[in-house]
């Protein structure tokens, strides 16, 4: 199973939905999301990861780059609906103390819309 990325704007927030496996073959697609973040008028960005089953280190790097880009552009950023195994990766890397995380998409939208 490969990575499926969909993007939509909800209430002024760019929601990037990741489904499947973010393995080596998905890195180019994830890096393309950075351009979407640069081009959007949205005031916030949410990575909705409820159906993401695998994330490699390069994909984590792309998410960090997205977070840094949002910070530089003055956009709010949040990860939403992490599976336990994905959340554990973020915890082990120490990123949970840096990147905002929400349990649901609705919570994430609230965090970045405020």
Q: Mean pLDDT, to the nearest integer, of 4-28?
A: 87
User: On the CB side of 104, how many CA atoms lie within 13 Å of its CA?
Assistant: 3
Residue 6's pLDDT is what?
94
Q: Domain range spanning residue 47?
A: 3-113
**Distance separating alpha carbons of residues 55 and 53, to the nearest angstrom:** 7
pLDDT at 112 over 60: yes
Q: Mean pLDDT, to the nearest integer, of 35-49?
A: 94
Domains of the chain: total = 1
pLDDT at 32 over 70: yes
Residue 26's pLDDT is what?
64
The CATH code of the domain that includes 98 is: 3.30.750.24
Q: Mean pLDDT, to the nearest integer, of 57-77?
A: 94
DSSP secondary structure string, 7-20? Answer: EEEETTEEEEEEEE
Residue 29 host element (H or E): helix 27-39
């Amino acid at each position: 199973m490969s990575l499926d990325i969909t993007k939509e704007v909800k209430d002024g927030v760019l929601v990037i939905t990741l489904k499947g496996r973010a393995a080596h073959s998905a890195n180019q697609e994830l890096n393309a999301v950075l351009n979407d973040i640069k081009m959007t008028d949205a005031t916030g960005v949410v990575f909705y990861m409820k159906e993401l089953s695998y994330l490699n280190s390069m994909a984590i790097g792309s998410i960090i780059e997205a977070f840094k880009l949002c910070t530089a552009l003055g956009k709010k950023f949040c990860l939403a609906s992490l599976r336990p195994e994905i959340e554990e990766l973020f915890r082990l890397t120490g990123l949970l103390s840096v990147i905002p995380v929400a349990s649901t998409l609705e919570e994430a939208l609230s965090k970045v819309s405020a």
